[in-house]
Amino acid sequence: MNIAYTQNGDYLISNIVIRKTKPLGHYGRLRKAYLEMHRPILFNERVLSDKLFEHCAKIDEAARNRMELIVPELAKRNGVTEQLKAENQMEWVRQMNACKAQAEEIVKFELIYD
């Protein structure tokens, strides 16, 4: 990896430019924090090669897509229906929250903490 430097008096200053990017989503930030804490070598490689944001954004998108697939499947498997929503809204909310929490654990295991 070659980094260009500019001479400024007696000092060499690296020519690293930080690009303007859109903010990372929830899962992208989780992935970044995981890499920073548990995989520091990989984290530093991605930072220095300017691929960290791209990687985290890709993980964020994949995780959101996976959540969109898993939550309805878990709801269907657990019998969370529109009929239940009409009859007992609080029970429906409780069961949907449980499905979302379970789906999030699956996504974290599959994508974030890989």
Q: How many angstroms separate the CA atoms of 23 and 57, rounded? A: 9
Residue 111: is its pLDDT beyond 90?
yes
The pTM is what? 0.79
Q: Average pLDDT of the chain?
A: 94
**For the chain, domain boundaries:** 22-112
Looking at residue 1, what is its pLDDT? 56
Name the percent of the chain in helix, strand, coil, to the closest 5: 70, 5, 25
